A and B are shown apart, each in its own frame.
Chain A
């Protein structure tokens, strides 16, 4: 049964990241919606742990790319090398040819490298020396970035932030969770595990979740509000409304429903739209949340 599947799954993940069920659900939603995830947080908050856990859970090929300011696109995508034995050029695929990539500290790399990764995310293929190499399916990138106010960062431009389906941040765990983490460190339950095929199947089924006119109208009202009301530095693009629907479908799916409710949209709305609404030059620690304001001013029920 799907229901028990997801409960077990979320429970298993929750053993790795304690006290963060909402973020775990969002990450899973993002994966099922075939989008990419951006995690913004301070170092040491469990970004890497979460991606490790996800990879292990679905038995995905996993690689971690540590972004630094001197990382070149070829370091990541791979390069064509001369093989002296066969007197031939062979392509050596880089770490990007994996099913789950952890692009760690993505905003430490130079813009050139950043855009190389984001391009492969969008196209799901890599072109080197005129040859196109498809990336594996499923292909899921978890980018992590440090808050932009930290030194040595190149903030991702708005156009590239848009490529990430969701942006979440984990935040500090609460007292109980951290205490539990410190006392049973190392005890992890890896009995729950799923195949890659299962994941692909779910991804296909997410696409079939029903979104009624009322739900689509609600999404349209939200994005229109952001375009016509003063006070929003960036309006939501059609790409954003597509992402919103996709994420809401996945959210409905992991809650064992075959149709989307306005509540699903509300649940994913902040994660999907906040990084698109906020101008890159604005500090993220500001207290007014643009997406929260949108949610509060749009009636989910009107026909």
Chain B
């Protein structure tokens, strides 16, 4: 049978591979199911044990086959709950774990290593943070070490490591150059969306059902402004607009969804030169598998590249054409002073006066009627509602308890405690009852400045507020939550929740605020990660073009071609630097110099190379190519060479002299008899 068996005990290559696999599994924890991770851990532990104890009685093939069948059934069972991509990754890891158990031959080892390289690539689909990139590089290093250990087990580990690092350092400049210069092709196929990966805001909101809001500290996006940061009061990041209400739940209206689908297929154009005060900013969105974009009021794509990816909806929300599956960068611009007029066709009014016909929330309805009677002016009416929140004993809490029956009534007149969704929902409902178009906007509010001009927004910044049109013409923003928790808006979520710290996890970002050291550390990691996403992950086609323009000035075909050529030459130069053999050391040995110059000469004339043959073998090899006289001269020379080299008492002064004179004669003979050589049979054809 082909392929060689591998030893079990003390086989370091296998141990390194197991470690790499284990670390890889930990990195891949997001898509992997618990039992798959457990299986890989078991496989690695068994390998550690075999490495130490060298138990020859390995797991029987039958048992592993049984495990494989069971694993397949389990995967099939869970495949409904997970996306296709996740299941495939799970399948691959399961296969690797089982193979690791029965690793017997060199072939198996190579297969496993190849799979591990592939999985390393897969891991980048799920996470692209700098830390992940570093860990993955270490895994690649480990895998290469394993391969080296497999093929050259007799060499010291340190030697492998240094060879590896050296190779890596050699590859680094070439890789970075290619990263900067190579044209970035669009992906050849789409990534299947995972079910479990969709995070962030949901498209429906049922304030009454939520008894307690859990706060996540995951980052949602980072915004980099070309000018100063917007003031805290303006940091309302609109995601989606909830216009449809059934008495309990607010959802995005079906009409808007259809419009959104339609506008995917219409051509979008950049508006003419913007009127007013538009400021540019850049969004780096963390992967969330949803299509909603987060933008300041009123935003629009700033350049052509973003325009192709972004849809501007009629309700002033923005969405992307493809779900955001990996970190993405959008160039936007916003105008804080821009008006948001209602659509001319009256659809806005129609949608935003809609109320459920059920007899729910009767007290709120009555209250709305009273308000309508008291205030004829719409603006005064809105003020009255806002004042109501301020004057009554309302409080802000994350744990309001459930309000299943008549949620608006319960909130307005009984509990009087809740979070943004409750306030926004109640106010919108009452406004609609009074005949003023109103809707809920959900998104994020606030953000944490991580550099001079960049804001990071986290999941706990999620917020909901009200948009109403008291004059029936333009939308205005009202934030009832602000009436009860001013600090929530001015200083951000962290500050206002200072008293609720007890609920926070121990090492959360929120807690870190208390400790200068931890806080500093978090801030530093944030900054590094931000720069990483901005400069490395965000380096897309457009930035590449910008960079080229910066370097070349105006782009002409000739310039681009010359530039490409120059880069190619540079890379070739770098490679040549590594691969061209160093010029041979100067001869310390006169005899060898004489012999080598002669054999080089003969090689050139006859085409027969010495190539690690001994002097005697070379002489015989050359015999058919030399004429009798030259051959006998070379034979004498070879004998003299051997005499000096190998025979005792051969190293005498007169022997050297003789060799030198023979060399001289032979060289002369070779020069003279240039035409007299028979070429080698190979070149004769």
Contact of B612 among A212, A279, A300 (CB under 8 A): A300
Q: In the complex, are the beta carbons of A212 and B154 less than 8 A apart?
A: no
Q: Which residue of B lies closest to A214 (CB)?
A: B645
Q: Does B642 contact A (CB under 8 A)?
A: yes
Least Cβ distance of A260 to chain B in Å?
6
B646 adjacent to chain A (CB < 8 Å)? yes
Which residues of A, 196-227, contact B by the 8 Å Cβ criterion? Answer: 210, 212, 214-215, 226-227
Among the listed stretches B385-393, B467-475, B588-596, which one makes contact with chain A, having 4 or more residues with CB under 8 Å of it? B588-596
A215 engages B646 (CB within 8 Å) = yes
Q: Determine how close the nearest CB of chain A comes to the CB of B1; give it in whole angstroms.
A: 8
Q: With A282-B4, A302-B592 given, is the CB distance from A234 to B154 under 8 Å?
A: yes
**Is A263 in contact with B154, judged by CB distance below 8 angstroms?**
no
Give the size of the chain B interface in residues (CB under 8 angstroms): 28
Over the window 121-164 of chain B, the binary record of Cβ atoms lying under 8 Å from chain A Cβ atoms (1 yes, 0 no) is 00000000000000000000000000010011111000000000
Given known pairs A261-B616, A262-B614, A296-B612, the reply for A210 and B647 (CB within 8 Å) is yes
List A264-302 residues whose CB lies under 8 Å from chain B: 266, 279, 281-283, 286, 295-302
A side interface size, CB within 8 A: 35
In the assembly, what is the distance between CA of A212 and CA of B644, in Å? 9
**A259 touches which of B4, B151, B647 (Cβ 8 Å):** B647
Interface digits, B584-627 against A, CB 8 Å rule (1 contact, 0 not)?
00001101100100000000000000101111110000000000
Contact for A231 among B4, B152, B589, B642, CB less than 8 A: B152
Complexed CA–CA distance, A279 and B650 (Å): 41
Judge if B5 is at the interface, Cβ distance under 8 Å. Answer: yes
CA distance A258 to B642 in the complex (A): 13
User: What residues of chain A lie closer than 8 Å to B650, measured between beta carbons?
Assistant: 212
Q: Which residues of A contact B591 (CB under 8 A)?
A: 303
Given contacts A263-B617, A266-B614, contact A230 B155 (CB under 8 A): yes
B492 at interface by CB-CB < 8 Å: no
**Closest chain B residue to A232, Cβ basis:** B154
Q: Which of B6, B152, B155, B646 has the largest count of A CB atoms less than 10 A from its CB?
A: B646
Instruction: Give the docked Cα–Cα distance between A286 and B5 (Å).
Output: 12
- Which chain B residue shows the least CB distance to A209? B648
Asked whether any CB of chain A lies closer than 8 Å to the CB of B7, the reply is: yes
* Known contacts A230-B155, A301-B595, A303-B589, A259 near B648 by CB under 8 Å: yes
CB–CB B646/A260 < 8 A: yes
| A261:B614 contact, CB within 8 angstroms | yes
> Which A210-254 residues have a C-beta within 8 angstroms of B?
210, 212, 214-215, 226-235
CA A138 to CA B612, docked complex, whole Å: 38
CB pair A258–B648 under 8 Å, yes or no, is yes
A266 to B613, CA, bound (A): 10
User: Which residues on B sit within 8 Å (CB–CB) of A232?
Assistant: 152, 154
Q: How far is A263 from B7 in the complex, measured between Cα atoms in Å?
A: 36
Contact B588 A303 (CB under 8 A): yes
Chain B CB within 10 Å — which of A226, A232, A295, A297 has the most?
A232
B152-A229 in contact (CB<8A):
yes
Chain B residues with CB under 8 A of A210? 646-648
How close is B113's CB to chain A, nearest CB, in angstroms?
A: 16
Q: Distance (Å) between the CB of B410 and the closest chain A CB?
A: 75
Inter-chain contact A299/B612, CB cutoff 8 Å: yes
Contact with B along A161-191 (1 / 0, CB 8 A): 0000000000000000000000000000000
A76 to chain B, nearest CB (A): 29
Do residues A227 and B154 form an inter-chain contact, with CB atoms below 8 A?
yes
Bound-state Cα–Cα, A282 to B617, Å: 32
Contact B646 A214 (CB under 8 A): yes
Chain A neighbourhood of B648, CB < 8 A: 210, 212, 258-259
The answer to whether A301 touches B592 (Cβ under 8 A) is: yes
> Contacts A234-B154, A262-B614, A302-B592 known; A281 to B5 CB distance under 8 Å?
yes
In the complex, the chain B residue whose C-beta lies closest to that of A213 is B645
Instruction: Report the separation of the CA atoms of residues A41 and B151 in the bound assembly, to the nearest whole angstrom.
Output: 28
Interface of A is mostly: loop
Given contacts A212-B648, A230-B148, A233-B154, contact A286 B614 (CB under 8 A): no
Which residues in A have their C-beta under 8 angstroms from that of B153? Answer: 233
What CA separation (Å) do A286 and B595 show in the bound complex? 37
Residues of A within 8 A of B616 (CB): 261, 263
User: Quick one: closest A residue to B596, CB to CB?
Assistant: A301
| B617 partner residues in chain A, CB cutoff 8 A | 263
Of chain B, the residue at the smallest CB distance from A283 is: B4
For A227, the chain B residues whose CB sits under 8 A away are 154
Chain A residue nearest in CB terms to B590: A303
Contact B152 A301 (CB under 8 A): no
C-alpha spacing A288/B155, complex, angstroms: 20
Cβ contacts under 8 Å, A283 to chain B: 4
The answer on a CB contact under 8 Å between A228 and B155 is yes
Chain B: minimal CB distance from A275 (Å): 16
Cα separation A302 to B646 with both chains bound (whole Å):
13
B4 to chain A: closest CB distance in Å?
A: 5
A212 touching B4 by the CB < 8 A rule?
A: no
Residues of B with C-beta under 8 A to A297: 612
Q: Given A230, A234, A261, which contacts B642 in the complex, CB threshold below 8 Å?
A: A261
- The residue among A229, A230, A232, A266 with the most chain B CB atoms within 10 A of its own CB is A230
| Docked complex Cα distance between A227 and B612 (Å) | 19
Q: Which of B5, B153, B617, B650 has the most CB of A within 10 A?
A: B153
On chain A, the residues within 8 Å of B647 by CB distance are 210, 212, 258-259
Closest Cβ of chain B: how far from A265's Cβ, in Å? 9
Q: How far is the CB of A210 from chain B (nearest CB, A)?
A: 4
- Name the B residues within 8 Å of A229 (CB-CB): 152
Distance of A266 Cα from B148 Cα, bound (Å): 29
Q: Which B residues lie within 8 Å of A266 (CB)?
A: 614
**What residues on B are CB-neighbors of A260 within 8 Å?**
646
> How far, in whole Å, are A38 and B285 apart by their CA atoms in the complex?
71
Chain B residues whose C-beta falls within 8 Å of the C-beta of A235 in the assembled complex: 154
Q: Which chain A residue shows the least CB distance to B591?
A: A303
Asked whether, in the complex, the Cβ of B645 is within 8 Å of the Cβ of A230, the reply is no
Closest to B2 in A: A286
CB pair B152–A230 under 8 Å, yes or no, is yes
- A261 cross-chain contacts in B, Cβ below 8 A: 614, 616, 642, 646
Once A212-B646, A261-B646 are accepted as A-B contacts, the answer to whether A231 and B151 lie under 8 Å apart by CB is yes
Known: A230-B148, A232-B152, A283-B4. Is A300-B614 also a contact (CB below 8 A)? yes
Inter-chain contact B592/A303, CB cutoff 8 Å: yes
Tell me which residues across on chain B come within 8 A of A259, comparing CB atoms: 646-648
Please, which residue of chain B has its CB at the minimum distance from the CB of A226? B154
Cα-based distance from A214 to B647 in the complex (angstroms): 10
A215 to B647, CA, bound (A): 10
Which residues of B lie under 8 Å from residue A286 when comparing CB positions?
A: 4
Q: Which residue of B lies closest to A230 (CB)?
A: B152
- Distance in angstroms between the alpha carbons of A10 and B589 in the assembled complex: 40
Chain B 1-30 interface residues, beta-carbon cutoff 8 Å to A: 4-7
Quick check: B612 and A281 within 8 Å, CB to CB? no
B residues less than 8 Å from A282 (CB atoms): 4-5
Which B residues are CB-close (under 8 A) to A279? Answer: 7
Bound complex: CA of A262 vs CA of B638, how far in Å? 13
Cα(A231)–Cα(B642), bound, Å: 33
Q: How far is the CA of A279 from the CA of B148 in the complex (A)?
A: 17
Closest chain B CB from A23 CB (angstroms): 21
Residues of B near A234 (CB, < 8 A) are 154
**C-alpha spacing A266/B615, complex, angstroms:** 12
Q: How far does the Cβ of B148 sit from chain A's closest Cβ, in whole Å?
A: 6
- Note all chain B residues with C-beta closer than 8 A to A302: 592
Can you report 24 residue pairs joining A to B where beta carbons are below 8 Å apart? A212-B647, A212-B650, A226-B154, A228-B155, A230-B148, A230-B152, A230-B155, A233-B154, A234-B154, A258-B648, A259-B646, A259-B647, A260-B646, A261-B646, A262-B614, A281-B5, A295-B612, A296-B612, A300-B614, A301-B592, A301-B610, A301-B614, A303-B588, A303-B589
Seed contacts A259-B647, A281-B6, A303-B588; 14 additional CB < 8 Å A-B pairs: A212-B648, A215-B645, A232-B154, A233-B154, A262-B614, A262-B646, A263-B614, A296-B612, A298-B612, A300-B612, A300-B614, A301-B592, A302-B592, A303-B591
Of all A-B residue pairs in the complex, the 5 with the closest CB atoms, nearest first, are A230-B152, A303-B589, A210-B648, A262-B614, A214-B645
